[in-house]
Amino acid sequence: METSLSFVLQAIANGLAMGGLYILVALGLTLILSIMGILQLAHGEIYMIGAYLVYYLTSSLGISLYIAILISMGAMGLIGLVLERGIFRPCKGDFLSVITVAIALTLILRSYAVAQFGLFERTVPKLASGSLVFFGVAVPKDRFVAMLIAAAMSVALYLFLKMTRYGQAMFACAQNPEGARLRGINPDLISPMAMMIGCALAAAGGAIAGSIWMLTPTMGTLPLVKGLIIIVIGGMGSLSGAIVAGIFLGLMDGIIPVFFGPVVTSIAPLVIVVLILLVKPQGLFGHG
């Protein structure tokens, strides 16, 4: 009894932490997709590089973890700016070139990571040490810090989009690009912002993942796939949908392996996506 309760609570905590990471990746993906019309398949690589940057900042330069995460978010934001201006803007409107460029970018960044960082697994300092005790069961504290960070960033993004002029302009561009241009909103001003925010959120997600689990050059694949699933389940361009779907997928990934083993774990989310789309083709929170 004691042990099974401990398993379940651990699984829920793990699941919520994972859900938080998926949300950070998915929010960026959906922002970039709805504003720029680009499926940023290299988003997982931004997540991975952001994590390695935190690793070097903490291990080689001795910078404290939280400062390192902020620096990494800033640096990845700048890289997002460069990617938008240098790579994605020139192929705007050409679906095939965008996909080709994004895949190429994925391959280049991942190969670079293998060559530069090696295939060894590395770790970043813990977000928090020690445990919190629930019903007599100890759950590692860093899972809660991860959830808090993801929640705080989601709220900050929501407030930015809802309360500021540029945030509202992003919504406007996403809902009606031509209508936005007629109101004087320049897409070439809004797109780099979406890319910057998306990349910074991905970097934060990667750093947190690296701190709870491991760093590897291929660590970006899983959150990218989860991010895409979240966008589909949650509904294209819906932020609240992304958050609900992210928590849901994270919990499944945390809880299912404990009870059903790894095979069911990898299949279950996809089966659920198919079921959801059969009932609601536009996603849970999608607009018509």
Partner 1 sequence: MLFQVKNLVVRYEGAEILKGISLEMEEGEIITLIGNNGAGKTTALRAISGLKSPHSGEILFRGQRIDNLLPQDIVKRGISQVPEGRALFPHMSVSENIRISGFLRNDKQGIKEDLDRIYDSFPVLKERSAQRASTLSGGEQQMLAIAMALMARPTLLLLDEPSTGLSPKMVTEIGRVIYNIHKSGTSVLLVEQNANLALSLAQRGYAIETGKIVLSGFAGELKKSEHVKRAYLGQ
74/90 with CB nearer partner 1: 90
d(CA 40, CA 43): 6
Alpha carbon 75 to its chain's center: 16
| CA dist list (Å): 203 to 3, 14, 55, 75, 190 | 35, 20, 12, 9, 20
86/184 with CB nearer partner 1: 184
Q: How far is the CB of 165 from partner 1 (least distance, A)?
A: 7
Q: How far is the CB of 94 from partner 1 (least distance, A)?
A: 16
Q: How far is the CB of 184 from partner 1 (least distance, A)?
A: 4
| CA dist list (Å): 248 to 36, 150, 208, 225 | 27, 14, 19, 15
Using CB under 8 A, list all residues that contact partner 1: 165, 168-169, 171-172, 175-176, 178-186, 287
d(CA 251, CA 245): 10
208/242 with CB nearer partner 1: 242
Q: How far is the CB of 216 from partner 1 (least distance, A)?
A: 39
Helix (H, G, I), strand (E, B) or coil at 37: coil
10/191 with CB nearer partner 1: 191
49/180 with CB nearer partner 1: 180
From the CB of residue 185, how many other CB atoms can be counted at a distance below 10 Å?
18
- Read off the tokens for 14: 């793990």
Q: How far is the CB of 223 from partner 1 (least distance, A)?
A: 27
- Read off the tokens for 264: 């069911």
